[in-house]
Structure 1
Amino acid sequence: MAVCVALLGGESSGKSTLAQALERHLNDIHGLRAVCVPEHLRAWCEARGRAPHAHEQAAIADEQTRLIDRAKHAPGVDLVIADTTALMVAAYSALYFQDDTLLAPSLAAQRTCDLTLLMGLDLPWTPDGLFRDSPAVRDATDSLLRRELQDAGIAFQTVYGQGDARLQQALRAVGTALGRPLVKEDPALANGLRPWSCDNCSDPDCEHRLFTGLLSRNA
């Protein structure tokens, strides 16, 4: 069965861009057969020209999980990149409809992923003229995801940066999940330094300050 990498994050946080970049890089550079499972919620909304109602959320979440499972069991696939999971649908249900009943099953599905990457909030929020709501909703979604993942004991790694910088971070995490290096070793690690850890890891602002501080010192 293929290794599954799940990307989580609120609207306009770079999930789809990173998912597509990972798929191209892993296939073209590393010779892996990587497939990207797109966000079913967005496809659903685009097909109908509207956001789902509360009673439609569960079926959308179930279909996202089904698509990921099908890709994981497809012959010859090495790695599945899930451009979000059912947990995103559950998060939106909780935020928009005050319905948290989808959280437990979506977290159970999230546990079957080998690696969870949470998008950092350092990218500028941009409206798409269709479904994106506001930076406040993105922030609230990020907070909810962090809380639910931490309460459920599901490990996740936050990725920051733009373009290739974010891709390289993600590739390092994917390489660890695969048990093979996908990027050159970080000079900071070669000099005996170790990645930072934060006792207040639920605070994205604190996390971002620490991360960007390390980048500037190691530049």
Structure 2
Amino acid sequence: MSALLIAIVGAESTGKSLLAQDLTLRLTEATGLRCASVPELLRSWCEAAGRTPRPDEQNGIASEQTARIDAAASVNDIVVCDTTALMTAVYSQYLFQDDSLLAQAQAFHKRCALTLLTALDLPWVADGIQRDGPQVRAPVDALIRRALLGAGLAWSVVTGLEQARVDAALNVITPLLKAKPSPKRGLFSRLSERQDAQPEWRWACENCDVPECEHLVLQRAYSPLA
């Protein structure tokens, strides 16, 4: 059985790395399955080079990020991706007006069982040379949504602080785990039972983050007839 790929994308300083680490730990404990987190390559790349990438280096970073995810998927049941090539493609669009990496990044996300988009509800925190500032978060977030929508891909927005953010992600992941034979009961069973007991529509529409609702709004916004 192929690995379950869970992609985490989002603008800078929205908690992607911490969420990936926490999810991997919780999923390992809950399911007993082989779970792994693939860290963001850009972080280690910038630390090693002492600078941010040039336009001609973006493709190599995107390809290597995907290759590392594929390597983890070959030996694990669940792989949590702390960013994907989509983030490299989006930043190529934003910084260099280069759309050439987008199609390949979108193709990768079609292989993912789930894409989680981290919301902009966390305070921006400086973190070395790879972060540009709080002013880039909104436009990058918009580009991510546009890229996913343009490929017909669904996503779930993850909000909340600390444990609430992890629980929000687990609530979305839980239904996917039912297809994975688990050697261990516990947290997964409790999450599943709790979710089954909840009504299908439990949030007011204007406050919800159901992808179909958000997709409809964005489709109208980006429609040539809008």
TM-score (norm 1): 0.84
Structure 1 SS opposite 2:143: helix
Seen in structure 2, the aligned counterparts of structure 1 residues 184 and 47 have a Cα distance that, compared at 3 Å, is same
Q: How many residues align?
A: 201
Change (3 A) 1:185 1:160: farther
Describe the shift of the 1:12–1:184 C-alpha distance in structure 2 as closer, same or farther (beyond 3 A).
Answer: same
Match in the other structure for 1:117: 116
Give per-residue Cα distances to partners, 1:154-175, cap 9 Å, x unaligned.
0110010011111111111111
Q: Does 1:2 align with 2:9?
A: no
* Change in CA separation of 1:93 and 1:192 when aligned onto 2, cut-off 3 Å: closer
CA distance in 2, matches of 1:60, 1:143: 22
**Aligned partners of 2:36 and 2:79 also within 8 Å:** yes
In structure 1, give the amino acid aligned to 2:10: G
Which range is displaced more, 190-199 or 111-120? 190-199
- Specify the code of the residue in structure 1 equivalent to 2:3: A
Taking the aligned partners of 1:10 and 1:143, their CA distance within structure 2 comes to 9
| Equivalent AA in structure 1 for residue 201 of structure 2 | R
In structure 2, the partner of 1:90 is 89
Equivalent residue, structure 2, for 1:22: 23
> Which residue in the other structure is 1:104 paired with?
103
AA paired with 2:161? Q
Deviation of the 1:200 alpha carbon: 6.0
Select which of 201, 216, 222 maps to 1:194. 201
Q: Which runs of 5+ in 2 are unaligned?
A: 180-186, 207-211, 219-226
The 5-angstrom pairing of residues 120-159 of structure 1 reads 120-159=119-158
**Equivalent residue, structure 1, for 2:67:** 66
Deviation at 1:149, TM superposition (A): 0.5
Secondary structure, aligned partner of 1:138: helix
Counterpart CA distance in 2 for 1:167 and 1:131 is 25
Shift of 1:185: 5.1
Q: C-alpha deviations, 1:3-26, integer Å up to 9, x for none?
A: 000000011010000000011111
**Structure 2: distance between partners of 1:86 and 1:162:** 26
Q: CA deviation at 1:178?
A: 1.8
Per the TM alignment, residue 191 of structure 1 is displaced from its structure 2 partner at its CA by: 6.3
1:54 Cα offset (Å): 0.2
Segments of 5+ residues of structure 1 without an aligned counterpart are 205-219
- Counterpart Cα distance in 2 of 1:179 and 1:73: 20
The percent of aligned pairs where both chains have the same amino acid is: 46
What do you get for the CA RMSD once the two structures are aligned? 2.2
Distance 1:12 1:185 in 2: 33
The one-letter amino acid paired with 1:102 is L
SS at match of 2:116: strand
Q: C-alpha offsets along residues 43-68 of structure 1, whole Å, 9 cap, x if unaligned?
A: 11111111000000001000011111
Shift of 1:129: 3.7
Cα separation, 2, equivalents of 1:162 and 1:146: 22
Which residue does the alignment assign to 1:44?
45
